A and B are shown apart, each in its own frame.
Chain A
Amino acid sequence: GQNIDQPTEMTATEGAIVQINCTYQTSGFNGLFWYQQHAGEAPTFLSYNVLDGLEEKGRFSSFLSRSKGYSYLLLKELQMKDSASYLCAVKIGAWSAAGNKLTFGGGTRVLVKP
């Protein structure tokens, strides 16, 4: 089976940096996504990693280590609007005519304080 772990909640101050870790144990790993979800809204895509290393997109960066089963999402220069849940999702690569399976972690709620 698959197991994906993220911290439940984190608190940080406006302007600071926060790192959200995600560890996974899966068979057939084929990529990792990060999504942002504001309360009461649908998730929206933030980043995708399939190879080891760092992907940077403005204030958000995501890192992947396949050998360690580990990823993190780094949020810099935090703004109040960054208060949301951040979801880690792993794409399972076992071949299926129907496509690939996606398994999400429980999500990390980030609260940004003034």
Chain B
Amino acid sequence: EAQVTQNPRYLITVTGKKLTVTCSQNMNHEYMSWYRQDPGLGLRQIYYSMNVEVTDKGDVPEGYKVSRKEKRNFPLILESPSPNQTSLYFCASSLGRAGIQYFGAGTRLSVL
């Protein structure tokens, strides 16, 4: 089944404790992207990538890192999480340069 898989689905952590949210797709898509969704602010793009080792900043990249060492995986790294990064995070992938996005189920992160 074609899908985008994020893990974990739910995470509660404390300020400053490094964490990684994984994202994997099995559709051989070139484009992958991370978003955060907050009430009243909608979906905001954090980082995106068109290919292995090629990434670029979205609208809200501060406090996040990504890597694209393999085409299928695009992990999101929070080196030192802060409470303002409490949010619902979505990973997405698409064929080509930001085509139709297929979203993962989401990761709900709480930073205390």
Instruction: List the interface of chain A (C-beta within 8 A of B).
Output: 2, 33, 35, 41-45, 48, 87, 89, 91, 96-107
Contact = CB atoms under 8 A, between A and B. Distances in A.
For A99, A102, A106, the residue with the greatest tally of chain B CB atoms inside 10 Å of its CB is A99
B interface, by DSSP: helix, strand, loop or mixed?
strand
A106 B98 contact: no
Interface of B: 30-31, 33, 35, 40-45, 48-51, 54-56, 58-59, 90, 97-98, 100-106
B43 A104 contact: yes
A42 B55 contact: no
Contact of A101 (B58, B102, B106): B58
Contacts of A99: 30-31, 48-50, 56, 97-98
Nearest to A1: B59
A101 B48 contact: yes
A98 B97 CA distance: 8
A89 B106 CA distance: 18
A72 B17 CA distance: 43
11 contacts: A42-B105, A44-B103, A89-B43, A98-B55, A99-B48, A99-B97, A99-B98, A101-B56, A101-B59, A104-B45, A107-B43
